[in-house]
Amino acid sequence: MTTNDQHYINLVLEGDTHAFSTLVGRYKDLVFTLALRMLKNTEEAEEIAQDAFIKVYKSLAKFKGDSKFSTWIYKVTYNTCLDRIKKNKKYFNNVAINEFTEHEIKTIDNALNYLEQEEYKQSIKDCIAMLPSDDAFLLTLYYFEELSLDEISKTIDLTANNVKVKLFRSRKKLAHILRERLEPEIIENYERPGR
């Protein structure tokens, strides 16, 4: 998101606690959004966002700069959400997928590319909100933060190949939901042969 995070990190480590509020300001909306995607509950997401920033503050000295600061914050948020889910023993149902192919996912993506950008974003956001927590988190990083496979793998502690597989499965689930929600004629228009 920004290149001078390290400047504020250094200020915090030197004792300037006010500098941390700048970092919180930069990432609070995204941290909340990611928590909401996983927990599906506004109050819990707000608590998780606070907990995540407390953890980030307390372990700021451990941040080595091996990855972007934003990636590290996402990782802390992700792990904090997982802890809460385990604590609450919440398990979300998976969306059923019936023989979805990569071609069909590309068809959905192509159709969405022709929608207005804001409409596209809102359609994706609405549909992502309907997914299980891990899928929602992963797709938020992929679609809205535009993280690379490598950056996502650092965030959720999986290899880039595992992320690729999870991302493919998450996109299949998303495509299934989009297919049900989008106007059928939009889909049909881009499924015609020769496209």
C-alpha triplet 77, 17, 42: angle, nearest 5°: 30
Q: What is the pLDDT of residue 111?
A: 52
Query: In 3-state terms, what secondary structure has residue 158?
Result: coil
Instruction: Tell me the chain's radius of gyration from C-alpha atoms.
Output: 18
Q: What is the pLDDT of residue 193?
A: 54
**Taking a C-beta distance cutoff of 8 angstroms, is the pair 128, 121 a contact?**
no
Q: What is the pLDDT of residue 120?
A: 61
Q: What is the pLDDT of residue 126?
A: 80
Decide: pTM greater than 0.85. no
Q: What is the pLDDT of residue 100?
A: 47
Q: What is the pLDDT of residue 147?
A: 84
**Mean pLDDT, contiguous 10-residue spans, the chain (195 residues):** 78 89 91 87 90 92 83 88 74 41 53 54 78 87 83 87 89 81 54 50
Rounded Cα distance between 178 and 86, Å, is: 29
Q: What is the pLDDT of residue 86?
A: 76
**Taking a C-beta distance cutoff of 8 angstroms, is the pair 74, 52 a contact?**
no
